[in-house]
C-alpha cells in the first residue's frame, strides 16, 4: 500500500519538515492536508536553509508532485510569496504544485477577527494564536454562509460574494466593544484576490481526484502533518489548540484519501517538549533547564519568532497521541539538544488530585492540575552532531531513546542529531516490529 503519514505527536515544531524531506526520496507525491500559514517547517541541507509554511516540504526534491488539499486554509498572498521565494532560489512550481479548488480562502477579515478574538477567550487566558486568520477561516467554513473556497474565486459571482461577506463583517467589527478596525473595502479586496486567483490558476485543480487516482495506481504518497496532535481541535488540549484535526485522525478528512491506503504512520517527537502560545505544558521547565533547551535547540517560533516554552519529555501525552494517530514507529528528533545535562527526566505519569494516572486527561482543568511523576535517567556530555550510527551514540543517549520507545510502546526507527539532512540515524530492522497490533487481553 502506498501511503505514509508523518504526524507530530506533541504541540508542533517536532521537526516534521526535516523528516518529510528525508522520506520524500521514497515517495512520488507529498501532500499537505491541514492547517495553513500557521505552520513553519524548516529543512536544512549543506549550507542551505529552507523555511516552508503552506507548500509541502517535498518541493525541495525535484520531480515529486506536491499537493495542497481542501483541508488546508489557504492565504493566497502567503502561498504566492512562498512560491516566489522558492522560484527565486531555482525551484520550479509549474507542473509540480497543485492546489485544491476546495481549499477555503483566508481573507483580511479573518486576520482581523483572529486579532480581536484571541484575547477574549471565555473564562481563560489567550490561546496565543499565530494571528494568521486560521481559526476564523475554519469557523466560516463550518458555518458555511460566509465561506469562500478557492474555486469560488473563478466564478462570475465572486465579486458579489465578497460584497456580501464584507458588509456582514463590517457590521460585526463595528459592534465589537474594543474595536479599532477600519471598515473593509469590498472593491479593493475583490481586485486583490482576483489578481491572486489569476496567478494561482495553473495550479488549481481537484486534488481529491488526483490523489484517488494516485493511490489506486500504486503511486507512493507521503502525507505531511502540520502542527502536532496535542493541538488537534477535537482530541488536543482544547481550547488551547488549532482549528483543524492535526493528529493522525485528520489525514483522511483533510486529504480525501481513506485510511485504508495508508500503511505507515511515523510519529514525530522531540526528545523533550515545547509549546508556543497559551495552555498547559505539565513538564514545563521555567528555569535553567528550560533555558538550556531553548538556547541549544534554538527554540524560537519559525512563524511568530516567539520563544517556545520548553520542558521534559512527556510520555503520558505522547503515548496518548501515538495511539490516537495510529503510529507504527517513532522518529525522535533534536536528541543532540539534551547533551550537557547531568540528568534527564521523562514524565511517565501524572498526579491529579492525589491520584496517579497514566491516561491523558480529556478535560483541560485536570491537565492544568497535573503534577508530573518523573523517571530520572543519566545524561551525556558528548556532542551528538557528528554521530551517524546508533552504535556510536553514547550509551546514555541510547538508553534514553530506548526508554521513550518502551513508554510509547513503539519502536524508534529514526533519531535526529542536528538540523541537517545528514544528521540522521536510521535504526535497524527491529524498528519495524509492530507488537502493539496484536490483540491485547482485556484488562480485568
Ligand atoms: P516542524 O514545524 O515540525 O517542521 O518543525 P520546525 O521546523 O518548526 O522546528 C524544528 C527546528 O529544529 C528547525 O529549526 C529545524 O531546523 C531544527 N532541527 C530539526 N532536527 C533537528 C535536530 O535533530 N537537532 C537540532 N539541533 N535541530 C533540529
Ligand atoms: P508547525 O506545523 C507550533 C499553535 C499556536 C497557538 C495555537 C493556535 O510548525 O508544527 P492558530 O494560529 O493555529 O489558531 O494557533 O496553535 N500553533 C503551532 N505551534 N507549531 C505549529 O505548526 C503551530 N501552528 C499553530 O502557537 O498556540
Ligand atoms: Mg514549525
Which residue from 12, 41, 118, 225 has its CB within 8 A of the most atoms of ligand 2, so it is best to mutate? 12
Is residue 277 lining ligand 2, measured as CB closer than 6 Å? Answer: yes
Percent over 90 (pLDDT), the chain = 89
Location of C-alpha cell 512520488: 28
Residue nearest to atom 12 of ligand 1 (CA): 15
Give the tens place of pLDDT for each residue, 40-56.
999 999 899 999 999 99
Res 437: pLDDT = 44
Give the number of the ligand closest to the Cα of residue 227.
2
Answer yes or no: are the C-beta atoms of 267 and 16 closer than 8 Å. no
Does residue 431 carry a pLDDT above 60? no
Which residue from 38, 118, 134, 243 has its CB within 8 A of the most atoms of ligand 2, so it is best to mutate? 38
Which residue from 116, 124, 227 has its CB within 8 A of the most atoms of ligand 2, so it is best to mutate? 227
Is residue 137 lining ligand 2, measured as CB closer than 6 Å? Answer: no
Output 124 or 245, whichever has higher pLDDT.
245
Give the tens place of pLDDT for each residue, 22-44.
999 999 999 999 999 999 999 99
Is residue 267 lining ligand 2, measured as CB closer than 6 Å? Answer: no
Does residue 436 carry a pLDDT above 60? no
Contacts 24+ apart (CB under 8 A), 306-309: 306/128, 306/276, 306/277, 308/13, 308/274, 308/275, 308/276, 309/274, 309/275, 309/276, 309/281, 309/284
Distance from the CA of 14 to the center of ligand 1, in angstroms? Answer: 7
Catalytic residue among 21, 27, 41, 232: 41
Is residue 40 lining ligand 1, measured as CB closer than 6 Å? Answer: yes
Res 1: pLDDT = 60
Q: How far apart, in whole angstroms, are the C-alpha atoms of residue 100 and residue 88? A: 24
Query: Is 402 assigned a catalytic role?
Result: no
Distance from the CA of 2 to the center of ligand 1, in angstroms? Answer: 26
Length of the chain: 444
Is residue 273 lining ligand 2, measured as CB closer than 6 Å? Answer: no
Report the chain's C-alpha Rg in angstroms: 22
Q: Return the C-alpha torsion angle 321, 75, 30, 223, nearest 10.
A: 20
Is residue 14 lining ligand 1, measured as CB closer than 6 Å? Answer: yes
Is residue 281 lining ligand 2, measured as CB closer than 6 Å? Answer: no
Res 179: pLDDT = 64
Is residue 246 lining ligand 2, measured as CB closer than 6 Å? Answer: no
**Averaged pLDDT, 260-275:** 97
Residue nearest to atom 3 of ligand 2 (CA): 12
Is residue 130 lining ligand 2, measured as CB closer than 6 Å? Answer: yes
Which residue from 52, 113, 130 has its CB within 8 A of the most atoms of ligand 2, so it is best to mutate? 130
Give the number of the ligand closest to the Cα of residue 240.
2
Does residue 441 carry a pLDDT above 70? no
Does residue 321 carry a pLDDT above 50? yes
Give the number of the ligand closest to the Cα of residue 304.
2
Res 4: pLDDT = 96
Mean of all residue pLDDT scores within the chain = 94
Res 444: pLDDT = 46
Give the number of the ligand closest to the Cα of residue 20.
1
Res 429: pLDDT = 59
Catalytic residue among 13, 114, 140, 314: 13
Q: How many angstroms separate the Cα of 28 from the Cα of each of 168, 215, 334, 406?
A: 44, 10, 27, 33
Atom of ligand 1 nearest to the CA of 42: 7
Give the number of the ligand closest to the Cα of residue 229.
2
Does residue 341 carry a pLDDT above 90? yes
Output 305 or 228, whichever has higher pLDDT.
228
Q: How far apart, in whole angstroms, are the C-alpha atoms of residue 65 and residue 30? A: 6
Q: What is the pTM of this model?
A: 0.95
Query: Is 336 assigned a catalytic role?
Result: no
Distance from the CA of 128 to the center of ligand 2, in angstroms? Answer: 9
Res 199: pLDDT = 98
Is residue 245 lining ligand 1, measured as CB closer than 6 Å? Answer: no
Amino acid at each position: 500500500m502506498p501511503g505514509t503519514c508523518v504526524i507530530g505527536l506533541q504541540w508542533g515544531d517536532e521537526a516534521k519538515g526535516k523528516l518529510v524531506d528525508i522520506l520524500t526520496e521514497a515517495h512520488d507525491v507529498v501532500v499537505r492536508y491541514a492547517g495553513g500559514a500557521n505552520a513553519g517547517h524548516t529543512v536544512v541541507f549543506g549550507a542551505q536553509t529552507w523555511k516552508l509554511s503552506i507548500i509541502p516540504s517535498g518541493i525541495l526534491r525535484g520531480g515529486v508532485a506536491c499537493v495542497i488539499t481542501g483541508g488546508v486554509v489557504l492565504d493566497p498572498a502567503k502561498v504566492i510569496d512562498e512560491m516566489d521565494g522558492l522560484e527565486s532560489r531555482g525551484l520550479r512550481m509549474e507542473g509540480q504544485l497543485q492546489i485544491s479548488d476546495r481549499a477555503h480562502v483566508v481573507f483580511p477579515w479573518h486576520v482581523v477577527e483572529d486579532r480581536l478574538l484571541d484575547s477574549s477567550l471565555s473564562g481563560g487566558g489567550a490561546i496565543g494564536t499565530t494571528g494568521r486568520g486560521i481559526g476564523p477561516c475554519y469557523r466560516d467554513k463550518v458555518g458555511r454562509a460566509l465561506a469562500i473556497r478557492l474555486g469560488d474565486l473563478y466564478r462570475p459571482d465572486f465579486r458579489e460574494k465578497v460584497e456580501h461577506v464584507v458588509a456582514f463583517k463590517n457590521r460585526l467589527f463595528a459592534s465589537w466593544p474594543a474595536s479599532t478596525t477600519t471598515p473593509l473595502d469590498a472593491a479593493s479586496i475583490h481586485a486583490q484576490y482576483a489578481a491572486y486567483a489569476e496567478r494561482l490558476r495553473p495550479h488549481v485543480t481537484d486534488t481529491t481526484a488526483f490523489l484517488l487516482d494516485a493511490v489506486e495506481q500504486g503511486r507512493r504518497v507521503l502525507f505531511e502533518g502540520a502542527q502536532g496532535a496535542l493541538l488537534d481541535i477535537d482530541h488536543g488540549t482544547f481550547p488551547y489548540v488549532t482549528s483543524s484535526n492535526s493528529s493522525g485522525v485528520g489525514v483522511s478528512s483533510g486529504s480525501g484519501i481513506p485510511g485504508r491506503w495508508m500503511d505507515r504512520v511515523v510519529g514525530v517527537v522531540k526528545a523533550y517538549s515545547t509549546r508556543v502560545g497559551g495552555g498547559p505544558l505539565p513538564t514545563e521547565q521555567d528555569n535553567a533547564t528550560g533555558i538550556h533547551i531553548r538556547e541549544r535547540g534554538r527554540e524560537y517560533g519559525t512563524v511568530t519568532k516567539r520563544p517556545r516554552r520548553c520542558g521534559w519529555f512527556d510520555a503520558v501525552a505522547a503515548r496518548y497521541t501515538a495511539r490516537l494517530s495510529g503510529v507504527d514507529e517513532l522518529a525522535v528528533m533534536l536528541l543532540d539538544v539534551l547533551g550537557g545535562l547531568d540528568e534527564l527526566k521523562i514524565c511517565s505519569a501524572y498526579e491529579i488530585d492525589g491520584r496517579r494516572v497514566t491516561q491523558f486527561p480529556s478535560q483541560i482543568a485536570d491537565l492544568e492540575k497535573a503534577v508530573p511523576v518523573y523517571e530520572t535517567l543519566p545524561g551525556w556530555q558528548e556532542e551528538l552532531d557528528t554521530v551517524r550510527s546508533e552504535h556510536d551514540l553514547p550509551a546514555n543517549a541510547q538508553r534514553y531513546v530506548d526508554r521513550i520507545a518502551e513508554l510509547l510502546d513503539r519502536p524508534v526507527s529514526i533519531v535526529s542529531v542536528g538540523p541537517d539532512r545528514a544528521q540522521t540515524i536510521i535504526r535497524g530492522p527491529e524498528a519495524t516490529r509492530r507488537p502493539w497490533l496484536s490483540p491485547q487481553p482485556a484488562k480485568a
